[in-house]
Structure 1
Amino acid sequence: MKKLSYLILGSALLFTSCEKLLDRPDLNVMVDSEATYWRNENDLRLYANDFYPNYFVGYNSAWGTAYAPVIGYNFSDDLTSENQQLALLGSVPTNLGSTATATSTLRPEHPGPNWNFYWVRKANIMIDRIETFAKPKLTDDEYKHWSAVGRFFRGFEYSRLVSNFGDVPYYDAPVSPDDFETQYKPRTNRGEVMDKVYDDFKYVMENMRENDGVGYVHRYAAAALISNMMLFEGSWQHYHNLDKTRAKKYLELARDAAQYVMDSGNYTFDSDFKSLFASESLSSNKEVIFYRTYDDALAIRHSVGSYSNGTENQARSANLNLIEAFICNDGQTFQSSTVENAKNFRLQELIKTRDPRFEATFMDTVNAPAIGTLVYAYKFASREALTYLNSGKPYPPKWGSNTNTNDAPVARLAEVVLNWIEAKQILAENYGGAAVSQGDLDKSINAIRTRPLDAEAEAKGVKQTAPLMLGALPNDPLKDADVSPLMWEIRRERRMEFVFEYARIQDIRRWKKLTYLNFEKESYKLGPWVIGLKDFGDKNNPGKILAAFKDRLKVKTADGKIITYDGTNDADMVGFYVVRNFTNRLPVENKHYLAPMSINLMQEYADRGYTLTQTPGW
């Protein structure tokens, strides 16, 4: 595995004037001429360093939120807020996004870059300069590896742009600043763009080094991320009924890229789930393929841990719909499980009856900073962090403010095996691929379920989940009618694994299930089962609920009645927590799958005499 410390050196060409006789070039700064800069792979490495914080964001840095869990990825059907649910974009905006080069994201329903081709240009410059200047000075291995690095980042950026906008103009070479004809070229068909991306990724899989030193991208990390991006596009092409030939091709690459990582034998599920996200160091974690290092001494810190420490607000929190999706530890749904108390939705019981990832993700008591449903996610903070909650002791810097130093996994084995098994199942169901076998499940979903448990989880009564058996798949009454039982379980596994991470909003977009965000089911409006006197009791006034909850606390009883706390009915406040002032968002429409062009952006094209077409539906 490789770490990513992000001691990034400058990557723009710095044109300096060295007029003094004794001036010598700084070894950490690019030299003053392109012809003399592209001399060796150290120059190429220096140039490529700028890509790392843009693509391997981890937990971001300081108060940064883009592409960071909890603070950046907190919008999906898993999560509910008080009051009106966050709306999807309703109309064509005047100005959407910016041309900044920072790791900004577009909108929560389209978690990716703005309409901005800075990073495409940067990758194209690298690829072009390798051919133009560096190739004669490099060994064959160096040439292939660095060409693969440039093509990997170009493919990465185009994958993100296409996921947001669909058709985008494709550039495979740097564009001159005065070449407006090329700069303002029409949008290229999505499939044609992704064919180019496919070619780039195939080259990467054949030519990138398997090891390029600590902290630098290598073939296994690239393959893990390629499996993500090709699964997204392949399943998008399939479920959105675009080009089935392309869907098959992309899904096969997703499967093969994942298989490459799995077959290496370098990675295994050797640590508990909590350790993946709350460890000060991931250097010895064999599940982690690539990660970002945070280090207080180097002033490399983040704030994700503080937003998981029990005190900071989580405006959107886990709803009953997500809770119901978690499998019981006997491998059955809560409706058919034989585990004692499987139908008890008290958080204290859920951690004992559900898959261990539930306990490692959520606190076992209701917590008001989880403003929507009171189910607080502490997935990205250690168990130690919660010992400071209500203790009167100040939180240490590593779990407070923007000074957190727990490492962030960028690519991990669970993503790889879940990409692999889903790609195989789509291919089997629709494209003549080999049927998924029990052995395939054992190498993927069941391998995840054998993660070891830490001592604290075991002390709470947490148990490993029974394996998924092909001959005895759960019979889930909540399953979508158009999804096979096995595919439903594959999707369930992703949902449990990636809460508050990148995946859920992207998954429901590519499956063409964005309508889940309509929140028509009652389970989206509810939280866990609460007992008013235990969960909201006034310690100074036994037998009474805290006065602050008068006219605010509501529960839905087992027989479906909604009861509001009026200050006198304390003993009656037992049932599913009702989200306060819940109001649904406007309905999801087909246009919401892709982002629109803003009025100002289209006008910019028109002012130059060119036409930028609007995204379909907008």
Structure 2
Amino acid sequence: MKKIFYLLSILALCSSCELNEFPESSALEEDVFGTEGGLRRYSISFYNDLPSSSDAYRLDQMSDYGAVNNLDNFLKLNAYTAQTSSGWDWKNLRNINHFLASNNRSNVSETSRNHYNGVARFFRAYFYYKMVTRFGDVPWVDKALSITDNDILYGDRGDRTVVMDHILADLDYAYANIQTSSSTDGSEITKWTALGLKTRIALFEASFRKYHTELGLASTANKYYKQVVDAAQELMTKGPHSIYTAKGPELSQRQLFVSDAAVTQEVMLAIAFNKNLAILSSANWYWTSPTYGPRYSFVRPFINTILNRDGTPYTNRTGYNTQEFYDECQNRDYRLSQLIRTPGYKIDGKPAAPNFNGYSYTGYQPIKYTLDESKYDNGQLNTNAIPLMRYAEVLLNYAEARAELGEITDGDWQKTIGALRSRAGITGGTSQLPTVIDTYIKEKFFKDIDNPVLLEIRRERQVELALEGFRFNDLKRWNAGHIMASLEWSGIYIPELDKPMDLDRDGTVDVIFYDGNNKGPSVTVGAKVAKIAIGGPATNYQTLTADKHLEWFKAQTRTWYDDGRQYYYPIPSNAIVLNKNLKNYPFWQ
């Protein structure tokens, strides 16, 4: 089922409904709830809560490992308040609960009614997961409200334990009752998608409780880790999905993101596009334009965590910190060359080095969602399906939960982290649990973690799932949000200024960096060569670190408050005006 970007006309009347609005009864409602076709048509409206075609490929645009051209206000000092907050929107929940309350006609079989109730409850769980990760405590509402339900309409913000337990119950119901076990194009919810979402949500809650000790819920974390393990094991042993390897280590992972048809062997949920129906995305435009997107560029500390192909840390290489771009890309985990432009990457069949002439700030230019032809670069033209859930994530969720419970074995490692690394061409460390801490990833990212297994799982997660929308929530649940402000936005090594650089060594000069206090390079280069000023009065955003690496945006401070307020968003002030019983956490008041 293609994702629908509009509501059916019968439901459009409810598109702006709030919690206390109820659609008028009509003969049309009997047509909807009195036939299986009507239930199916109604259920299409739930899919509008998934990421849209215009944002599914940009879900990690605010993360620690991506340098951008403009900071989100959330990371600026005193720039984000309850007056500017958003997201306290309950329309989608109202739509779901109305369906669940109305789906009771006996002329539709109980199996069919339960199936569509399962789909509805999947989306209710998904809706509430987004609300909890954004706001923390929120009220649980499981019925279509009327204007007399004042105790709920004007209630307080609720209890996260109540909400989380209801979420998992909804997903258990969805798994037990959804009849769909496969989706031809990956865009339809299946029983296995429900299990996959359960592993995601239970892992978030387990680790949030463990690492946010201020909640006083750490003793209950294992309950949720066990839910991750149970759901993942069920999916891994009974489900139809597996790791896709058909394109070999050099291409298999990226194929999941550039294929027109979702690779449903691994992709469990996707947004499918259709050229004939003019349902397209602007992924290339976003990731290649100097003006349309944020010019998102990976930063060197993250790139440094991508392993050598033999399974050893890249930072164990002698002189790694002074390797030029070509050399640092050699003999690395093949996901590096499937994530950014590396030597050998081509567009229109021609070598294409990182584009400093209008895009990259650091030299690490993403390609995960882009097609390798320039004809896609200037508009909403992309046809490639965008994965929203992959079997790889389930393996990572399982491995992390088992490790947090202290139960992970060599066998677990081999079929999860080892399998993903093997798919990427890594030859070492895929069959046994690690026993040695990588001091680089510990010091740069996770100073409080002393368990080598957990450190490697976190490494694997940030590499495998880069740009897929998990990073900010991962840092929040690990109580590691400070990395959003502290990780340096550095890039490739620049041995000297005024030196023409052939980044991919294809025989063509790509860029020259020069002192921004001068009018231009002192060395003559071709007109098409990018000329990048370093420092100087007009270029204070592009500088060099003390050890001669590009650095971006050092002049603008990223802020992570010590009081921890950014682990939640404030409830918008206009909602609090309407309901005096709603209270923001003290740090947002």
What TM-score, normalized by structure 2, do the two folds share? 0.81
Distance 1:84 1:195, change over 3 A: closer
1:482 maps to which residue? Answer: 448
2:200 maps to which residue? Answer: 228
2:533 maps to which residue? Answer: 549
Distance 1:51 1:344, change over 3 A: farther
1:425 maps to which residue? Answer: 403
After TM superposition, give the deviation of residue 300 of structure 1 in Å.
0.5
Distance 1:234 1:4, change over 3 A: farther
Paired AA for residue 595 in structure 1: Y
| 1:84-121: CA deviation from partner (whole Å, max 9, x where unpaired) | 78652637735345xxxxxxxx5xxxxxxx11111111
After TM superposition, give the deviation of residue 512 of structure 1 in Å.
0.4
Distance 1:221 1:93, change over 3 A: same
1:443 maps to which residue? Answer: 415
Partner secondary structure for residue 550 of structure 2: strand
Partner secondary structure for residue 298 of structure 1: coil
Paired AA for residue 69 in structure 1: Y
Distance 1:466 1:337, change over 3 A: farther
Q: Give the counterpart of 2:93 among 120, 127, 141.
A: 120
Q: Give the counterpart of 1:380 among 352, 365, 369.
A: 369
Unaligned runs of 5+ in 2: 14-24, 246-251, 343-352, 502-509, 513-520
After TM superposition, give the deviation of residue 311 of structure 1 in Å.
6.0
In structure 2, distance between residues paired with 1:175 and 1:583: 46
In structure 1, distance between residues paired with 2:571 and 2:363: 37
Q: Give the % identical residues.
A: 25
In structure 1, distance between residues paired with 2:161 and 2:569: 17
2:582 maps to which residue? Answer: 612
1:77 maps to which residue? Answer: 64
8 Å CA contact 2:168–2:198 kept in 1: the answer is: no
The reply to whether residue 259 of structure 1 matches residue 218 of structure 2 is no
Q: Give the counterpart of 1:536 among 511, 531, 535.
A: 511
The reply to whether residue 315 of structure 1 matches residue 295 of structure 2 is yes
| 1:240-272: CA deviation from partner (whole Å, max 9, x where unpaired) | 123245422222222222222221352222241
- Per mean C-alpha deviation after superposition, the further-off stretch among 81-90 and 229-238 is 81-90
Distance 1:83 1:54, change over 3 A: closer
Paired AA for residue 494 in structure 2: V
8 Å CA contact 1:525–1:578 kept in 2: the answer is: yes
Q: Give the counterpart of 2:338 among 360, 364, 378.
A: 360
Paired AA for residue 53 in structure 1: N
1:351 maps to which residue? Answer: 329
1:457-606, aligned counterparts within 5 Å? 463-470=425-432, 472-478=434-440, 479=442, 480-483=446-449, 484-519=451-486, 524-531=488-495, 532-534=499-501, 535-537=510-512, 541=524, 549=533, 551=536, 552=539, 554-556=543-545, 560=546, 575-579=548-552, 581-589=554-562, 590-606=564-580
Paired AA for residue 238 in structure 2: S
In structure 1, distance between residues paired with 2:289 and 2:322: 24
Distance 1:292 1:471, change over 3 A: closer
2:112 maps to which residue? Answer: 142
8 Å CA contact 2:205–2:221 kept in 1: the answer is: yes
1:103 maps to which residue? Answer: none
Partner secondary structure for residue 388 of structure 2: strand
Partner secondary structure for residue 352 of structure 1: coil
1:277 maps to which residue? Answer: 257
8 Å CA contact 2:339–2:366 kept in 1: the answer is: yes
The reply to whether residue 294 of structure 1 matches residue 294 of structure 2 is no
8 Å CA contact 2:364–2:491 kept in 1: the answer is: yes
Distance 1:441 1:375, change over 3 A: same
Distance 1:91 1:555, change over 3 A: closer
In structure 2, distance between residues paired with 1:218 and 1:126: 19
| 1:145-178: CA deviation from partner (whole Å, max 9, x where unpaired) | 2221121111111111111111111111110135
| 1:415-461: CA deviation from partner (whole Å, max 9, x where unpaired) | 11001111111122xxxxxx211110111111112227xxxxxxxxx
1:432 maps to which residue? Answer: none
Paired AA for residue 439 in structure 2: P
2:40 maps to which residue? Answer: 45
After TM superposition, give the deviation of residue 11 of structure 1 in Å.
6.4
| 1:367-393: CA deviation from partner (whole Å, max 9, x where unpaired) | 2244542321111113x32xxxxxxxx
Distance 1:84 1:345, change over 3 A: farther
Paired AA for residue 529 in structure 1: Y
Distance 1:588 1:345, change over 3 A: farther
1:199 maps to which residue? Answer: 169
8 Å CA contact 2:284–2:382 kept in 1: the answer is: yes
Distance 1:144 1:543, change over 3 A: closer
1:414 maps to which residue? Answer: 392
After TM superposition, give the deviation of residue 412 of structure 1 in Å.
1.0
After TM superposition, give the deviation of residue 580 of structure 1 in Å.
5.4
Distance 1:5 1:163, change over 3 A: closer
Partner secondary structure for residue 270 of structure 2: strand
In structure 1, distance between residues paired with 2:168 and 2:586: 24
In structure 2, distance between residues paired with 1:202 and 1:94: 35
In structure 1, distance between residues paired with 2:530 and 2:219: 61
In structure 1, distance between residues paired with 2:427 and 2:69: 33
Distance 1:438 1:539, change over 3 A: farther
Paired AA for residue 536 in structure 1: V
8 Å CA contact 2:311–2:426 kept in 1: the answer is: no
CA-based RMSD? 3.0
In structure 2, distance between residues paired with 1:370 and 1:424: 41
After TM superposition, give the deviation of residue 469 of structure 1 in Å.
4.8
Partner secondary structure for residue 176 of structure 1: coil
8 Å CA contact 2:211–2:477 kept in 1: the answer is: yes
Partner secondary structure for residue 297 of structure 1: coil
Size of the alignment, in residue pairs? 523
8 Å CA contact 1:315–1:371 kept in 2: the answer is: yes
In structure 1, distance between residues paired with 2:531 and 2:370: 31
Distance 1:494 1:602, change over 3 A: same
Partner secondary structure for residue 492 of structure 2: strand
Partner secondary structure for residue 279 of structure 2: coil
Distance 1:473 1:530, change over 3 A: farther
In structure 1, distance between residues paired with 2:480 and 2:136: 17
Partner secondary structure for residue 533 of structure 1: coil
Distance 1:155 1:245, change over 3 A: farther
In structure 2, distance between residues paired with 1:598 and 1:144: 36
In structure 2, distance between residues paired with 1:378 and 1:547: 23
